[in-house]
Amino acid sequence: MAQLEPANNPEHVTIPLKKSSKVKDFLSLMVKSKSVLIGGIIVLIVILSAIFAPLIATHDPNEMEMSKRLMGPMEEGHLLGTDNYGRDLFSRIVYGARVSLEVGVVSVSVSLLIGVTLGLVAGYYGGWLDNIIMRTVDIVLSFPVLLLAIALVAALGPGIDNVILALGLIYWTNYARIVRANVMALKEEEYIQAAKTIGSSDFRIIFYNILPNCLAPIIVVATLGIGIAIVAEATLSFLGLGIQPPDSSWGWTLSFGMKFIRDAAHLSIYPGLAIMFTVLGFNLLGDGIRDLTDSKTK
């Protein structure tokens, strides 16, 4: 074994290397992941389109020009053509990104708030609280998701706020189950037992010791959940129960275009592609983050 040189010898002074940040390491892994990179680019494009819609849109999305109805792509300055009211399809799709992202992000936030809270309570305390919460989860999961969404929106009435509320009240079960399973495993760890021994409150243990260690699966499910919520909103709008005109929605535009599928197929093709690529972006991003956070694939 090599002997250590005296610390006071200036010729053998070792300069400690600065350890790389875990955040920087994780970001570098994200850049190297093709799934995260491609999904992130798609999601970023959609987000930027929604934010800068007034600058990107070439026309007022609600402006009607009956003389220009059912124009094809690239006719008279309309990149993707016009609908049967002469409204610019490209502008309506760009503004539709705002509706889809708003529904996706806000409904997932509602689901997170409900599901994570109930999952933490059920997993940490167990007993009758766990039984009540998980039996409620079983009841909600026993209904077909789309059928339950239609029933809730029909009861609440169409509109973006009611769609967000309905989806938030449906999809919280996924977060509750995942968080509960993680909490039940984590609460038996030695550091949790040590925190209890020194008298830490349940609130501090749950939100400062347990919740941070549940964030990885929550982020993955939430990312995938945004794509699911976007598809659900498009489905409800397609059926006439979601966003109502004159507001621009991809689902409503797709449904409206079905009436002219033979004469103007572009009315259905382009909104369908917008939904497909947006959901694909969130799915790729979620799958990539899952792979990065999975200890078996690091």
- The enclosing domain of 196 has a CATH number of 1.10.3720.10
Decide: 116 and 175 in contact? Cβ < 8 Å. Answer: yes
Range of the domain at 251: 34-59+73-293
15 has a pLDDT exceeding 80: no
End-to-end CA distance of the chain: 33
Is 123 among the domain residues? yes
Is 162 among the domain residues? yes
This prediction has a pTM of 0.83
Is 38 among the domain residues? yes
12 has a pLDDT exceeding 80: no
Is 5 among the domain residues? no
pLDDT in tens, 237-264: 888 888 887 778 898 888 888 888 888 8
Total domains present in the chain:
1
What pLDDT shows up at residue 23? 55
DSSP string, 22-58: HHHHHHHHHHH-HHHHHHHHHHHHHHHHHHTHHHH-S
What pLDDT shows up at residue 114? 95
pLDDT in tens, 181-191: 999 988 888 88
